[in-house]
Amino acid sequence: MKYDLIIIGGGLSGLAAGIRSAHFGNRVCILEQQGRVGGLNSYYHYQGRIFDIGLHAITNYVPRHIKSTPLAKTLRQLRLSYDDFQLLPQQISRITFPTKELRFTNDFNFFIQEISEKFPHQIDQFTKFVQSLKGYDEFSAKKEFVSTRQILQSFFFDPLLIEMLLCPLMFYGCSWENDIDFAQFSVLFRSIFCEGFARPQDGMSKIIQLLKTKYQHCGGELKTNCKVQKLHIHQNKVSEVHLSNGQTMKAEKIISCIGLPETKDLCTSWGGKTTNRTTTPRTGALSFMESIIILNTMPSQLTFDTTILFYNDSERFFYQRPKTLIDTSSGVICCPNNYQTEKPLPEGMIRLTNLANFTLWNGLDEEEYHIQKKFCLRESLKKVERFIPGLQDRILIHDIFTPKTIEKFTGRRQGAVYGTPDKTKDGLTPIKNLFICGTDQGYLGIVGAMLSGISMANAHILY
């Protein structure tokens, strides 16, 4: 049997692409290598609890009835209702540098006020900058990399403000070292500062279930524990999909959500003689160590009311692969308890994120790997102590994942969660019937992932 569409990878982008395509009558099959869908934003069971793999926050949060936003578009296109996601807005987040702190909420005017108080000499420029972003259409942006640092330097003379603006946005979606393509920056600026953070009441598991059920209701097929081994290319088209269990499948078109370099590796050939970035995508350099910590107390008892805190220990923010296992000179502290809710989580929870070096983690033998995980968590906690005093003595259980864990479970080469810096914004590859969606197409975050699946299905399957 031949499918209209095979989707490789059942993450959020793949599920969204699947829902759209199946809803309009295409025969679709999603192939997911893990036992459960959700990809980078799935969840797992650990010591009687359900942990989200990647979720700190859903960005692009807007209240109900705010229209023409990525969230509203996503819900409409997937025929979901606002209440389906049960979104709890954040309380307050902070960007903390040695000499200054900027706070932000889901009300952009609060952030403007913060800038005017902390950077009064730059507020006029900030207003101009925000105005210029409004006229900027990131979706019809040039394919070439445009340096955000250069643009920011043309607006702001205070380098500290530039670093502080970049810090949270890079942590939450940047696949370049120390700079970011301006189209991506503007997507992130909007999704984080202008819109905001929220958390689904029960974490990602409900959303994943919802999308999976929706997809299957539309008639879509799903194969879990199903790994693609090879995409056989004939006359510049995918002719057969070879699975690791020895089976072969066929489809008119293929959408791959597993990353551009990862997809290229599956293909028996990768046409096109030109050597532009899409034909030779680099592996992303950036990965993280993430620690999930359950406390025997509530964060509020430790006087911590921040939803997400981004810290950096110097005036300059270095967003790059560290030369050590992890880099604790900057980091992210996320507290899932600190979202506005009437149904508080039963236990206190903190998530810590630091930049990490895949190669170094990968080079450790098993014993050393476990020792280093514990050591790095201690190092990471030392930096957190000044923000959450007493945290170290309140740890009930913890789970740590390294770039190696991320690579193993997501298939992202070198644990590069934000993918290659060489995005294919139109989703096209050198192979005629093979398209990319998800992180390497260029949209970011949970809403962004779904929107990527939607727009690629629209562009290449439906319209």
Per CB under 8 A, does 129 bind another protein?
no
Q: Of 76-84, 87-95, 108-116, 382-390, which part binds another protein (CB under 8 A)?
A: 76-84
- Interface residue with another protein, options 35, 68, 137, 274 (CB under 8 A): 68
Find the shortest distance in angstroms from Cβ 186 to another protein. Answer: 19
Per CB under 8 A, does 210 bind another protein?
no
Nearest alpha-carbon partner for 184 in 135, 157, 124, 144: 144
Site for another protein in 22-61 (CB under 8 A): 24-25
Residue with Cβ nearer another protein (294 or 451) = 451
Q: Of 28-36, 70-78, 237-245, 375-383, which part binds another protein (CB under 8 A)?
A: 70-78
Residue with Cβ nearer another protein (82 or 145) = 82
Nearest alpha-carbon partner for 284 in 262, 303, 302: 262
Find the shortest distance in angstroms from Cβ 78 to another protein. Answer: 11
The rounded distance, in Å, linking the Cα atoms of 198 and 206 is: 15
Per CB under 8 A, does 81 bind another protein?
yes
Per CB under 8 A, does 82 bind another protein?
yes
Residue 219: partners with Cβ closer than 8 Å, 6 or more residues away? 22, 27, 28
- Interface residue with another protein, options 46, 50, 76, 265 (CB under 8 A): 76
- Interface residue with another protein, options 46, 47, 50, 79 (CB under 8 A): 79
Residue 62: partners with Cβ closer than 8 Å, 6 or more residues away? 69, 71, 72, 195, 196
Residue with Cβ nearer another protein (25 or 159) = 25
The rounded distance, in Å, linking the Cα atoms of 262 and 224 is: 19
Number of residues that bind another protein (CB under 8 A): 14
Nearest alpha-carbon partner for 165 in 142, 140, 194, 137: 194
Q: Of 48-56, 72-80, 204-212, 325-333, which part binds another protein (CB under 8 A)?
A: 72-80
Residue with Cβ nearer another protein (287 or 455) = 455
Per CB under 8 A, does 382 bind another protein?
no
Per CB under 8 A, does 463 bind another protein?
yes
Residue 333 in tokens: 């502290």
Phi, psi (degrees; rounded to nearest 5) at 106:
-85, 10
| Angle subtended by helix axes 182-189 and 159-171, to nearest 10 | 80
How many CB atoms within 10 Å of residue 101? 14
Find the shortest distance in angstroms from Cβ 454 to another protein. Answer: 8
Residue 291 in tokens: 């620690």
Which secondary structure element, helix H or strand E, spans residue 129, and what is its range? Answer: helix 123-134
**How do strand 93-96 and strand 308-312 relate by DSSP bridges?**
parallel
Whether the Cβ atoms of residue 184 and residue 452 lie closer than 8 Å to each other:
no
The rounded distance, in Å, linking the Cα atoms of 460 and 251 is: 14
How many CB atoms within 10 Å of residue 296? 12
Residue with Cβ nearer another protein (79 or 382) = 79
Find the shortest distance in angstroms from Cβ 190 to another protein. Answer: 17
Per CB under 8 A, does 65 bind another protein?
yes
Per CB under 8 A, does 323 bind another protein?
no
Per CB under 8 A, does 140 bind another protein?
no
Per CB under 8 A, does 73 bind another protein?
yes
The rounded distance, in Å, linking the Cα atoms of 191 and 238 is: 35
Residues that bind another protein (CB under 8 A): 24-25, 65, 67-68, 73, 76-77, 79, 81-82, 458, 462-463
